[in-house]
Amino acid sequence: MGSGAPPRYRVVEMIIGASVVVISIASLFLVVQQNRVMERQLEASVRPYVQIDTGNIDEETGETVLYVQLANPGLGPARVESFQGFLDGAPVGVPGELAAACCVDGDTEESRRAALVAALQVEDAGFVTATVEDYMLEAGRVHDVFRFKRPAEDSPALDLWRRLDRVRFGGFDVEVCYCSMFDACWTTRLHDRQPKAVKACASPAG
């Protein structure tokens, strides 16, 4: 005479055991999904949104000044990884190499650099640049990358200022790559303000 439980009880036990396993798996799945949703919500709550802007009037002071600046109207800090300028599609440094490439006279790169230095040595040039790479741009902040106060009418730097002002609308572009505190990264351009998600920021071209 067998000592085991009747077959119908073993079936019930198997059903109960299987149900426990299914419920456990479902509970684990729900926990994982909830964690993912919470992570996405947290990432969205601190997502940066970097914008590039350029102009020739300081809206706060009314001063005539060329500028390129980064703004972060997003919700969290942005770690700016790279900042690359372009002139007619070719990579250039900003702003020194750009000014030498587009806006001073000379047959060689060396002569154009010398002409740029000569133009900017005048006292009223007000040519100011700031660090960009590895810069932490906090939410709601603006960072000036480049400012160039309009020189006086008799200044030798005025022609450079005017040429730079014109080139802003003809062939000049800037690309910035930045990341959030969760290492999600995006690129954005001066003439295309819609950020594009990237896996990581590449080093800017030389």
Instruction: Let me know whether 193 and 117 are in one domain.
Output: yes
Instruction: Let me know whether 26 and 62 are in one domain.
Output: no
Q: Residue 115 has what pLDDT?
A: 82
Identify whether the C-beta of residue 104 lies closer than 8 Å to the C-beta of residue 160: yes
Instruction: Let me know whether 87 and 172 are in one domain.
Output: yes
Residue 100 within a domain: yes
Instruction: Let me know whether 60 and 125 are in one domain.
Output: yes
Instruction: pLDDT band for 152, please (50, 70, 90 cuts).
Output: confident
DSSP the chain: ---SPPHHHHHHHHHHHHHHHHHHHHHHHHHHHHHHHHHHHHHHHT----EEEEEEE-TTT--EEEEEEEE--SSS-EEEEEEEEEETTEEE-TTHHHHHHHSS--SSHHHHHHHHHHHHTSTT--EEE---TTEEE-TT-EEEEEEEEPPPTT-TTHHHHHHHHHHTTTTEEEEEEEE-TT--EEEEETTEEEEEEESSPPPPP-
Measured distance CA(62)–CA(129) in Å, rounded: 20
Instruction: Let me know whether 90 and 68 are in one domain.
Output: yes
Q: Residue 15 pLDDT > 80, yes or no?
A: no
Residue numbers of the domain that contains 118: 49-198
Task: Mark which of 10, 27, 45 sits at the end of a domain.
Answer: 45
Return mean pLDDT, the chain. Answer: 81
Residue 203 within a domain: no
Instruction: Let me know whether 94 and 135 are in one domain.
Output: yes
Q: Residue 48 pLDDT > 90, yes or no?
A: yes
Residue 205 within a domain: no
How many structural domains comprise the chain?
Answer: 2
Residue 192 within a domain: yes
Residue 103 within a domain: yes
Q: Residue 106 pLDDT > 80, yes or no?
A: yes
Q: Residue 94 pLDDT > 80, yes or no?
A: no
Q: Residue 55 has what pLDDT?
A: 92
Instruction: Let me know whether 89 and 181 are in one domain.
Output: yes
Residue 204 within a domain: no
**Crossing angle (nearest 10°) for helices 158-167 and 109-120:** 120
Instruction: Let me know whether 179 and 90 are in one domain.
Output: yes
